[in-house]
Amino acid sequence: MATIYEVAAAAGVSPATVSRVYNGVPVSAEKAELVRAAVAELRFTPNRTARSLRRKNAEVIALVIPDIENPYFTSLARGVEDVAQEAGYSVVLCNTDEDPGKEARYLEIAVAENMAGVILAEADGRADLSELIARSRPVVAVDRSTLFDLDSVILDNRAAGVAAARTLINSGYRRLACITGPAEIDTAEERAEGWRSVVSPSGSLERPDDHLRYSSFRVEGGRDAMAELLALDPAPDAVVVTNNLMGVGALQVLSEAGRVPPAFGVAVIGDLPFTTLTPNATSIVRLPARDMGTTAARMLIERINGDTEPARTVILPHEVVAAASGAPAL
């Protein structure tokens, strides 16, 4: 089996440079490519056990997310894995089902197994990260903020809610309802606040919050909330849905009621994973899930490698794709 010294000789670099490439420490693109070529030629495999002993932690990252069945988090996970594998780390995927109890157990395991770090999308915004922090295990928050002063990669959720509502207003709809997630999750509340900031000044709804429904971030949550909204008098003529799976549920109910877009306006925050409707009939606020994963993983590896700068917050942009046709003529 080839050694790190043989790889260094074949690549024409120092053993330290080979180690930096494997540990995710930045080197020049030219040197990194020389090392990778030598590794492939010599079929070099690093001694992971020895490296873990030197680092005093396992070469494993925990990715703790609320719903692996949601393609948004699947895409985020792919971004994390791409960067982690390149840096020589494995990723353990932990699905919490939005359950704070499950989340707490996964965080305990991350401590007990000496995992190198954690990337976390919190279940309810109240996760106890004190033990990880006490043991100097870096944590990066994704999608949702935490109570701790940590690195985070998030979206401007209020702006996403504003964008979704405005695309419906601009298309001619006037009575905009909103379906969002659990009130205790900041993502849900911030997106709803964006919707509220658009409909309140317009005066199209006397009491906007009568047209706001909190539900679970699931298909069933969207179905239940949409059915309630259609029963209002007067009923809304459009809806902002703040999550992709809820968007699917809302569209299912609208289809069953014979009120599919554009007869009824729909704007969804997040790409729809599946729908029986024409895709361009629904406005979409696209979220950079994979970029969120890659950005979070790079930040975490920087911390693992010794970065001690103050906590950073990266806010990623969204993209609005308006429906091809707007409200029917009144």
**Half-sphere CA count of 322, side-chain side, radius 13 A:** 13
Confidence (pLDDT) at 219 = 94
Average pLDDT over residues 260-265: 91
Please tell me the CATH code under which domain 157-287 is placed: 3.40.50.2300
Between 254 and 42, residue with greater pLDDT: 254
Which helix H or strand E contains 109, and what residues bound it? helix 100-112
112-164 pLDDT, tens digit per residue, is: 888 999 999 998 878 889 999 998 899 999 998 888 999 999 999 999 999 99
Supply angle C-alpha 256, 287, 94, rounded to 5.
90
- Structural domain spans, the chain: 4-46, 51-155+289-317, 157-287
Q: pTM of the prediction? A: 0.77
268 band by pLDDT with thresholds 50, 70 and 90: very high
93-110 pLDDT, tens digit per residue, is: 999 999 999 999 999 999
Structure-token pair, residue 120: 């976390």
60-93 pLDDT, tens digit per residue, is: 999 999 999 899 999 999 999 999 998 889 999 9
Between 228 and 36, residue with greater pLDDT: 228
Q: What percent of the chain has pLDDT over 70?
A: 89
- Predicted confidence (pLDDT) at residue 57 exceeds the cutoff of 80: no
CB 191 within 8 A of CB 159: no
285-303 pLDDT, tens digit per residue, is: 999 999 999 999 999 999 9
- Could you tell me the fold of the domain covering 51-155+289-317? Rossmann fold (3.40.50)
51-155+289-317 matches 157-287 in fold: yes
Confidence (pLDDT) at 238 = 96
3-state secondary structure of 117: strand
Confidence (pLDDT) at 325 = 56
Residue 268: closest CA among 279, 258, 276, 259: 279
Structure-token pair, residue 323: 């429906």
CB 242 within 8 A of CB 227: no
What residue type is 166 in one-letter code? R
Between 111 and 205, residue with greater pLDDT: 111
Confidence (pLDDT) at 229 = 96
